[in-house]
Chain A
Amino acid sequence: MNERPTLARLTRVELRKMVDTRSGFWLQLAVLGLTAVTVVITVIAGHEDDMTYRHIFANALFPAGILLPVVGILLVSSEWSQRTALVSFALVPERERLIAAKVLAGIVLGLLATAFAAVVAAIGTAVASPDVAHVWTIPVGLIGQDVVYVVTAMVIGVGFGAALLASAPAIVLYFGLPAALGALGSIHALHGTVEWISSGSLEPLTEQVLNGHEWAQVAVTLVLWMALPLAIGTWRITKRDLS
């Protein structure tokens, strides 16, 4: 009974923490609901050529791509704003293990959200194009990219939450920085640079199978938007006194 809690157990606890608060519960429900709504709208209002599984699935991932990072942010920042870090770290003094559990929980939730979107999109495709076989073709690589898209969005959220340790600034920056970079990118001289550092380079992940150049942009973006905030956050959380 005195053994260290396993990382698997801590991850389960973190997953539970994502849904057992009022805000967490409604955010998850919003992701599920909006995913379904997006598919319905695509099926009803979309162009006939777009009634393919590949296209509907891409649309279905959109709500998760936007809202899951907020779930990720809150998973870390609420420990500070709600001051539950005092309870969490009393039970798990090795703070880096708790951060690892949060990242793992984010990955699991990202996978679940992708799976849900895949199922809803399949239902939507079956309703929109019954008995048409070719609408179901989707490159395996694209499915993999869809998973990467949702999971990294989630982990980016965890990273932002960890780096800023405050919900509001993390959410504002998460949505504000890409917008600001987008504005910079409209300046012709900066366009090339912005293409590499903006999180916008993650968007094509759900649209087409990427080439080497695009993968390089994704990798650079993930270092800047995911790895860097996570590293800053881990440093802040493990080195800082809790008061």
Chain B
Amino acid sequence: MIEAEKLTKRFAGRAVVDGVSFRCEPGTVTGFLGPNGAGKTTTMRMICGFARPDAGSASVLGGEYRRLPNPGRRVGVLLDASAQHGGRRGREALAISAQTMGVDEARVDDLLDRVGLERSAARKRVRQYSLGMRQRLGIANALIGEPEVLILDEPANGLDPEGMRWMRGLLKDFAERGGTVLLSSHLLHEVDVIADRLVIIGAGKIVAQGSRDELLSSAGTLVRADDDAALARALAAAGLTGREAEGGGLLVDAEPRAVGAAARDGGVALVHLAPAGDAGLEQLFFDLTSGEEER
């Protein structure tokens, strides 16, 4: 279990993480989603005790990460796949982690198989690894101590579609056996296919969190008509506002029932009326991202 309680971090007076609270329960995969620079990495580093929060607190398995006597045996951490010595061989990098936490080095070979790194690749120096291979090595490193909790920062970055499918299987399996997973991403579709719950962060603040279905149901209604201008007028007359959705149509912050009634009252023929679902989630995320760019 992971708990963040009003975590706050300021750099040069600016709050890069601002009152962030969420919980990750055993048996679930939580996706921590937000554009680059939103505060995901800083939050995760505070959870793992690498950075001290200016306010608030974080706990892993009921206490501070730094108080865990042998953290590798209980929490698997991958904070940056590039953080490996380029002159060290892949297998050796895992072996020194195993030795540090007192795990039989024989386990390293099982892990290499499990993350799909071949023996020939494991004998190479990490400098020669692609980002995808570094991610696999980093995930193997996180799994060495057979932990109960996994904390992974952008683990899908650099993975090909096959790698994504593999990771989804691995994390689902880990959660099904009672593990807790927190993984971050700046890409909605990466997290969307893996996570049971989403925590969305923008500009240091939590914008939305909940199960996928909960977020989808609050995402509004997607409506299309042949005459979008007339539709917009009809919505306005009913006191509803629509925004242009990615890929056409309008996204309305209301139930389909209310939108349909507004269209009828305005005499507009609809060609599409449905809960926004994925499109709404994408729009929500897109708004965050573009808001970040304007700043």
Closest to A21 in B: B87
Q: Is the CB of B49 within 8 A of A23?
A: no
Select from chain B the residue with minimum beta-carbon distance to A25: B87
The answer to whether A241 touches B99, judged by C-beta atoms less than 8 angstroms apart, is no
Which of chain B's residues have a CB closer than 8 A to the CB of A21?
Answer: 85, 87-88
Chain B contributes a number of interface residues (CB within 8 A of A) equal to 36
The answer to whether B87 touches A92 (Cβ under 8 A) is no
With A2-B69, A93-B71 already in contact, the answer to whether A9 and B102 are too (CB < 8 A) is yes
The chain A residue with its CB closest to the CB of B127 is: A22
Task: Determine whether the beta carbon of A83 is less than 8 Å from that of B82.
Answer: yes
> A1, A86, A88: which has the most chain B beta carbons within 10 Å?
A86
Q: Of all chain A residues, which has the CB nearest B67?
A: A93
| A87 to B83 CA separation, bound complex (whole angstroms) | 7
- B94-119 to A contact mask, C-beta < 8 Å, 1/0: 00110111100000000000000000
Q: Which of B72-80, B175-183, B249-257, B279-287 contacts A (4 or more CB under 8 A)?
A: B72-80
Determine the distance from Cα of A10 to Cα of B48 in the docked complex, in whole angstroms: 20
Asked if A93 and B65 make an inter-chain contact with CB atoms under 8 angstroms apart, the answer reads: yes
Q: Which residues of B contact A87 (CB under 8 A)?
A: 83-84, 93, 97, 141
The reply to whether A241 and B100 form a contact with Cβ atoms under 8 Å apart is no
Question: Residues of A contacting B92 with CB < 8 Å?
Answer: 20
Interface pair B125/A22, CB less than 8 Å apart: yes
- In the docked arrangement, what's the CA distance between A21 and B87, Å? 5
Q: B211 at interface (Cβ–Cβ under 8 A)?
A: no
| A180 contacts the other chain (CB 8 A) | no
Q: Contact check, A93 vs B101: say whether CB atoms are below 8 A apart.
A: no
User: How far, in whole Å, are A15 and B251 apart by their CA atoms in the complex?
Assistant: 61
Indicate whether B66 reaches chain A with its CB closer than 8 angstroms.
Answer: yes
Complex-state Cα separation, A88 to B50, whole angstroms = 11
Residues of B within 8 A of A22 (CB): 87-88, 125
Instruction: Give the size category of A's interface with B.
Output: 20 to 34
State whether the Cβ of B86 lies closer than 8 Å to any Cβ in chain A. Answer: yes
Query: Is B51's beta carbon under 8 Å from chain A?
Result: yes
In the complex, A81→B281 CA distance in Å? 39
B130 at the interface (CB under 8 A from A): no
- Shortest beta-carbon distance, B89 to chain A, in Å? 8
Per-position contact with B for A1-40: 1 when CB-CB < 8 Å, else 0?
1111100011011001100111110000000000000000
Checking A16, A17, A78, A91 against B71 with a beta-carbon cut-off of 8 angstroms, the contacting residue is A91
Q: B6 an interface residue at 8 Å Cβ cutoff?
A: no
**Contact among A4, A9, A242 with B45 in the assembled complex (CB-CB below 8 Å):** A242
Considering the complex of A and B, which 3 residue pairs feature the smallest CB-CB distances, nearest first? A22-B87, A241-B51, A21-B87
Q: Provide a sorted-by-A list of 21 A–B residue pairs whose CB atoms are within 8 angstroms.
A: A1-B102, A2-B74, A5-B100, A9-B100, A12-B99, A13-B100, A16-B99, A20-B88, A20-B89, A20-B92, A24-B87, A78-B85, A82-B86, A83-B83, A85-B83, A90-B50, A90-B79, A91-B71, A92-B100, A242-B45, A243-B51
10 more contacts with CB within 8 A, not counting A9-B99, A86-B50, are A2-B74, A4-B69, A16-B96, A20-B96, A24-B87, A87-B97, A90-B50, A241-B45, A241-B51, A243-B51
B interface residues (Cβ-Cβ under 8 A, vs A): 45, 48-52, 65-66, 68-74, 77, 79-80, 82-89, 92-93, 96-97, 99-102, 125, 141
Question: Which residue numbers of A lie inside 8 Å of B, CB to CB?
Answer: 1-5, 9-10, 12-13, 16-17, 20-24, 78, 82-94, 241-243
